[in-house]
Amino acid sequence: MQRVCVSDFEEEARKVLPKAVYDYYRSGADEQKTLADNVAAFDRWYLVPRVLRDVSTVDLTVSVLGQKLSMPLCVAATAMQRMAHPEGETATAKACKTVGTGMMLSSWATSTIEEVMSAMTTSLGSGGVLWLQLYIYKDRELTLSLVRRAEKVGYKAIFVTVDTPYLGKRLDDVRNHFKMPPHLSMSNFSTASLAFSEGNYGNDSGLAVYVANAIDPSICWDDITWLKKHTHLPVIVKGILNAEDAVKAVSYGVSGILVSNHGARQLDGVSATLDALEEVVRAVQGRCEVYVDGGVRRGTDILKALALGAKAVFIGRPVLWGLACQGEQGVTELLELLKDELRLAMALSGNQHKGHLLCRTIFADPQTQTPCTSTHDNGKSVYAVISVSSGAKTNFPLSTLNFEDED
């Protein structure tokens, strides 16, 4: 069957993956309300295109943390990718090199930091950037050893996950007594307990027990200072959902914020990431880069996130579906598909370049279906957005709104 959208990749992946593996990749926490809302949030926003613009060429290039990428779509950290395909993270890295975008490598990868960098640097293509996702372990020297290894081989940033003092309750994983297949391990660790390659986890999710044993639940903002003192790489916090934490992150000197609810796998009932994005962007006021992940399934989703102020958008599960379908080629195909969808969405909305977005983004109040808008300044252009994280929504008749024109 020809794969023409992200859901085609997922359906094929569901058929080829073992049930416990598919469940692990797909599921969210508890009743999975936030998991559904991450996707549904994009349907609450509408694009208002501009016409009679010259869109004969559309430039998708973007700079993320000083690195030029072919598009503002990057690969998020997802653990244990060799459960999806024998080449796992190395196949994903090669695909990112081919497409010319960035990949965030999970600390819980089934390929080592060094193997993934080698795969990217030796494969065909002229782009590709690697960043390391980092958990702060109870063993701080172990934590720093991962950072040093990443620095040594050329990773460009550290994305520290801040929303996982414990693992969220993922019911499918509990039912499946999820643990790593016996032929695999978390390859960046030398001991069996830290590599998640053996252990008796009883009737719980094995990964939940692993996190409780290994990850430090006492981490606080001072640990961001500690990490920054021990690396020359930019530090980005992954897992921010509100203005207060965003402002705090900026005060601690982070280089970026990834608006994320961990793929809805931690605390069920939190806001969809798209709904939290504009609040964070406003709070940061350009003092660091802001990215978002969660629920992205189409090029129009990417455009909506960009119009709400994201510098770049990250995807996780869709990449796993591409990997399960056809390894490196499947991931490349998936990324190229979304790139083409974004290019078309940009053109049809009258936009030549991400830096000069002219389309407005309108939020429809789910209770009244009334369009609610406010203006948001992004350099030369102004487009309509609204914060939906607070209870107060302001209704403006569209005819009274003033938007700059770049003509």
Binding site residue list for glyoxylate: 24, 135, 170, 260, 262, 265
Q: Measured between alpha carbons, how far is 239 from 153 in angstroms, rounded to an integer?
A: 26
φ, ψ of residue 118 to 5 degrees: the values are -60, -40
Listing DSSP states for 121-143 in one string gives HHSS-S--EEEEEE--BSSHHHH
Contacts of 287 (CB under 8 A, 6+ apart): 250
Buried b (16+ CB within 10 A) or exposed e, 236-272: bbbbbbbbebbebbbeeebbbbbbbbbbbbbebebbb
Q: Measured between alpha carbons, how far is 293 from 189 in angstroms, rounded to an integer?
A: 27
Q: Quick check: 289 and 309 in contact, CB under 8 A?
A: no
- Taken in order 399, 396, 355, 377, the sign of the CA dihedral is positive
Q: Measured between alpha carbons, how far is 48 from 56 in angstroms, rounded to an integer?
A: 19
For residue 183, indicate whether it is catalytic. Answer: no
* 248: Cα separation from own chain's centroid: 21
Query: Which one is catalytic: 262, 353, 356, 376?
Result: 262
φ, ψ of residue 294 to 5 degrees: the values are 105, 115
Helix (H) or strand (E) holding 175: helix 171-176
Binding site per annotation, positions for FMN: 77-79, 106, 133, 161, 238, 293-297, 316-317
Active site residues: 262
